[in-house]
Amino acid sequence: MDVFGYLLNALTPFNLVLALVGVALGTVIGALPGLSATMAVAVLVPFTFTMDPAAGLIALGAIYTGAIYGGAYAAILVNTPGTPSAIATTFDGFPMAKRGDGGLAVSLATLASVSGGIVGAIALLLMAPPLAAVALAFGPTEYFWLAIFGLTLISALSVGNTMKGLIGACIGLFLSMVGVAVVGGDVRYTMDMQRFLAGVDLTSAIIGLYCIPVILDLVATRDPHLKPSETGGLRLAEGFGLAMKRKFNIIRSSIIGTVIGILPGAGGSIAGLVSYSEARRASDDPGSFGKGNPDGVVATEAANNATVGGGFIPTLVLGIPGTPPDAIILGALLVQGIKIGPTLFSNDAPVVYTFIWGLLIATVLMLPVGLLIGRYAYNSIIKVPKTLLAPTVALMTIIGSFAIHSNVEDAQLMVGLGVLAWILNRYGFQPSPIVLGLVLGSIAEQGFVQTWLIGNATQQLPGMFFNRPISIGIILAAVLTLAFPLWSEWKSRRRKQLEGSGSPLSDAGLNIPAAVKTRDVPSMVIAGLFILLGIWIYTLAGAMSPLGSVFPKTIAVALIGLSVVLIVQHLRRPAGEPGEGVAFDAGAKRRLALAAIMMGWVIFMPMLGFLVSSFIAFILIMLTANFEPRPPRTWAIWILAGAVICTGFWWLMANVLLLRMPIGLFF
Amino acid sequence: MKFNFATILAGVLAATPLAAQSVDDFPTKAMTYIIPFNAGGESDVSARFQQSEWEAVTGQQVVIQYQPGAGGAQAWSQLNSLPGDGYTIMGINMPHTILQPLAGSVGYATEDLTPVHYFHYTPNAVIVRKESEFETLEQLIEYAKANPGMATFAGSGSNSANHLASVQLNDAADIVTTYVPFTGTGPSITAILGGQTTAGFNYATSGVSQGDEIRILAVASEERMPAFPDVPTFKELGYDIVGGAYRGVAVPDSTSEEMRQKISDIVSEINSQPAFVEKMEGGGFVLTDVGYADMDEFVAARTEEYTEGAKALGIIE
């Protein structure tokens, strides 16, 4: 039977139902930050033992692809990536939602995700064995340069604020080093606290860094969370038109996503970041990226869903899982008695091809399912009053960070980092460079140390780093990304000059003074603290093995150097107007109250139990976020809603996801 | 956990009395099996094999959860804070649980953990890709002798079973090689297949999944493995290297003696299920049957061996 013959096997009613339910379930799970595709797939694996292998795989694959897509909702609507794959979706998705284009952003994300998913699945269907060679062509050197390429995106993300962006990246890179080092085996920067042994959890950090500042701003003013859209709904027709205009972006991003998906250990977050960066470079208007350019959403979402199909390529062809959900699916196949590896496509062709068709069908079903769920999610975020929205989003952040390891310490870290991120953000240190450093740090470090070890052993160190064809390609792309903003700036200045040269009056135009940047004392204080942090990092690195200390020392030196430059920059600026300090207004009070409630919530959770602490915090945040007097009846309904929401999520976690819940005094 | 079940099922009951359950009835509900690693590794796969037999043997299901972090230390350091009612068990690995506490403060000591059964091990194996010039271990060792340090070995992690084996081989064959740690078996085998390193120390299980794409030059088992009848052991080749990663099941220290024995018996019984044996041996795992009664002796012997190894790795003086 040829490849297309298996399509009929995949089209049985049972398989279609599995694909439909899988995608819907996955989308909902993916939309909730912290509840990951890995978790959902892991819980459901035992149910597939009794199914036909292809049917079981279709269910798992549908959940996986749905979850990667669902991550976009939280990214667009509350600025929090529902899965790490959606990090770059926040850059433009949330600004779009803020200005009233949230529905449009959801439509675009859906169309892009479906397109990307289809490209990835078709690559898996038609070209899996040859493409698997890509996974093998990538050695430690290529991973190192890929991570560096990802980091160059910082220069684009922090235009006009490069120093602070780079310092933020160093902080992220430092956070990525905490814990037991894979390479070298050193225990680094845990301060002898057991909670840091496993390092800073990426998902908790993302939730804290992106979402806590949003909630803090949410309670501070009476403005609605998102500007309501003028036309309402998801504006599907408009979205379709915009997507058609961006077909090259979609195709490019889908291909990038497929290829990066093939690389084991790279994953959806890097695919999203790289294609975002490429979309920005290819754009006529790179300056609007990060301010709500639909191209940013399209690029990221097409790429991250393409990684699903791409990730299955090394999993099925080489037996090397591309991503954690792939690894679980691999285990499920082994239990079914199916031998993964080079012979799979010939020996078990019916299972493999039926599954791939099923994945393709699930991806197509994502369009109606996604638009339906997306419409509901968007409308709830728009319509739910702030008094109820703020505590619900806060509950989601706690659940998300807790659920990853059933560990309250992750939730504590999340709140701590979130408050810190809000303060840093206020003084111009944005969260995205920190997150980029955290995501890419360990890949960069491992790639670097492995390359160094191999290069040193074979006595061709420079060649290892700079003389491998794929590496050279990635380095060139990185240099282009770095140089592009400078070049385009130069070009536009040049154009102005040329235009001006024809007109005698033009000189005046060139002399308009730039907005005077004044000295910013808090930024200098923060930079001073970072210098101390850098010294601490460097000092502790002295006691580590040579392998484990290279990276920390490099980062420490960079952090200290950049912070000194920042302080010098500010010293050379004129002092600002005095008295523009922090006004302790009502908004600030509400923010402080919220931060205190969140802190108390995670501190007392182990003592009071999840349900009790969450319900108390829910009510307190409701009071904090309320701006108008309400009749007792409204309060009663809202409190009841709070109780239902808290209990519902508690039940879901304890009995469906089977997490170990903190029990404490009550339950 | 007990508590959650009661509340939810009834929806009204505040709590059911935690009546002392007789060990004979155990288990009367689903058990939780925590794997301290990510999915897809040998620990996960062997646990999934057990899971498919669990219901037939005990009458109840087992739920597998992952708690990865710090090479397993994250989960092991929390083992004793879990309820000791027998319903929560955790995978446990050696040499990890011996080398980690020696290497640094990881939140637990080897003797804090209560393994009740070690059910298999995956022998270390020297692996090259099929395009490699090396057909035998001797050729590889001669190359390493002629070019000190130039032979690179990919392996899974620092201070791991693979790392230990590479140091043991250096010692036994009097050669100098370079060990390159990767973040797990998957990335390490990718590096071998891609020709990034000369060879690799990996577990023999990889030989099954990779088929003809790789060649196994030697395995560190006592006898030749059923899955690879043509591959010599290190012992046959004159190097006294036997070992790999041992995997078992541990319980919180508050678990009663009877319950420990009971869980050990369950694991033991699963070990004798023909379908399980077939999957494990076919997959390159070597079954062991170290029950709770023999545990102290087994752990003591391994501790001695790995403490020697730790000196060779430079972890301790």
Q: Which residue of A has its CA nearest to B65?
A: A42
pLDDT at B20: 46
Whether A567 shows a pLDDT value over 90: the answer reads: yes
Nearest to B183 among A38, A197, A446 (CB): A446
Residue B22 near chain A (CB below 8 Å): no
B183 contacts A265? CB cut-off 8 A: yes
Which residues of chain B does A330 touch, with a Cβ-Cβ cutoff of 8 Å?
Answer: 40
Q: Average the pLDDT over A583-609 and give the result.
A: 88
Q: ipTM score here?
A: 0.82
Q: Which residue of B has its CA nearest to A180?
A: B70
Residue B4 near chain A (CB below 8 Å): yes
Q: Which residue of A has its CA nearest to B42?
A: A331
Residue B33 near chain A (CB below 8 Å): no
Average pLDDT, rounded, for chain A: 86
The CA distance from B58 to the nearest CA of chain A, in Å, is 16
By CB neighbour count within 10 A (0-12 exposed, 13-18 middle, 19+ buried), where does A265 fall?
A: buried
A182 contacts B158? CB cut-off 8 A: yes
Q: Average the pLDDT over A608-636 and give the result.
A: 91
B52 contacts A454? CB cut-off 8 A: no
Higher pLDDT, A509 or A265: A265
Higher pLDDT, A45 or A358: A358
Residue B226 near chain A (CB below 8 Å): no
Q: Which residue of B has its CA nearest to A48?
A: B52
The residues pairing with B122 across neighbouring beta strands, listed in sequence order, are B245
Least confident range of A243-247, A515-519, A524-528: A515-519
CATH 3.40.190.150 placement within chain B: 19-122+245-313
Query: To 10 degrees, what angle do helices A632-651 and A386-403 make?
Result: 20
A511: confidence class by pLDDT, cuts 50, 70, 90: very low
Q: What is the CATH number of domain B19-122+245-313?
A: 3.40.190.150
pLDDT at A230: 65
A199 contacts B40? CB cut-off 8 A: no
Least confident range of A242-246, A523-527, A579-583: A579-583
Nearest to A341 among B38, B39, B210 (CB): B210
A665: confidence class by pLDDT, cuts 50, 70, 90: low
Which residues of chain A does B70 touch, with a Cβ-Cβ cutoff of 8 Å?
Answer: 179-180, 197-199
Whether A299 shows a pLDDT value over 80: the answer reads: yes
**Which CATH number is correct for B124-219, 3.40.190.10, 1.10.15.40, 3.40.50.410, 3.10.290.10?**
3.40.190.10
Least confident range of A240-249, A332-341, B284-293: A332-341
pLDDT per 10-residue tile (average), chain B, 317 residues: 43 39 79 87 90 90 85 89 91 92 86 95 94 94 93 90 92 93 86 93 85 90 91 94 93 94 95 93 91 94 90 81
Q: Which residue of B has its CA nearest to A647?
A: B8
Residue to substitute from B8, B16, B42, B48, interface A, most A β-carbons within 10 A: B48
Residues in CB range of A589: below 8 A, 6 or more apart: none
* pTM attached to this predicted model: 0.85
Which residues of chain B does A651 touch, with a Cβ-Cβ cutoff of 8 Å?
Answer: 8
Which residues of chain B does A339 touch, with a Cβ-Cβ cutoff of 8 Å?
Answer: 208-209
Distance, in Å, from the CA atom of A37 to the CA atom of A65, rounded to the nearest integer, reads 8
A202-206, A554-558, B24-28: which is most confident:
A554-558
A237: left (phi over 0), alpha (psi -120 to 50) or beta: alpha
Residue B3 near chain A (CB below 8 Å): yes
pLDDT at A41: 82
Distance, in Å, from the CA atom of A399 to the CA atom of A646, rounded to the nearest integer, reads 10
Which residues of chain A does B95 touch, with a Cβ-Cβ cutoff of 8 Å?
Answer: none
A139 contacts B70? CB cut-off 8 A: no
pLDDT at A480: 85
CATH 3.40.190.10 placement within chain B: 124-219
Q: Which residue of B has its CA nearest to A50?
A: B52
pLDDT at A513: 47
The CA distance from A364 to the nearest CA of chain B, in Å, is 28
Nearest to A454 among B68, B152, B209 (CB): B152
Q: Which residue of A has its CA nearest to B107?
A: A194
B1 contacts A139? CB cut-off 8 A: no
Q: Are A474 and A149 in contact (CB under 8 A)?
A: yes
Which residues of chain A does B276 touch, with a Cβ-Cβ cutoff of 8 Å?
Answer: none
Whether A581 shows a pLDDT value over 70: the answer reads: no
Q: Average the pLDDT over A327-353 and give the result.
A: 81
A661: confidence class by pLDDT, cuts 50, 70, 90: confident
Nearest to A663 among B3, B45, B67 (CB): B3
The CA distance from B240 to the nearest CA of chain A, in Å, is 26
Which residues of chain B does A136 touch, with a Cβ-Cβ cutoff of 8 Å?
Answer: 190, 193-195
Which residues of chain B does A187 touch, with a Cβ-Cβ cutoff of 8 Å?
Answer: 103-106
A342 contacts B213? CB cut-off 8 A: yes
| Torsion angles phi and psi, residue B203, rounded to 5 | -90, 150
Q: Which residue of B has its CA nearest to A405?
A: B67
Q: What is the pLDDT of residues A15-47, one digit of tens each?
A: 999 999 999 999 998 888 877 777 778 777 877
Q: How many cross-chain Cβ pairs, A to B, lie less than 8 Å apart?
A: 185
Q: Average the pLDDT over A303-315 and give the result.
A: 92
DSSP class per residue in A544-582: S-HHHHHHHHHHHHHHHHHHHHHHHHHHTSPBPPTT---
Give the position of tokens 């079954």: B287
Nearest to A320 among B4, B32, B186 (CB): B186
A343 contacts B191? CB cut-off 8 A: no
Residue B274 near chain A (CB below 8 Å): no
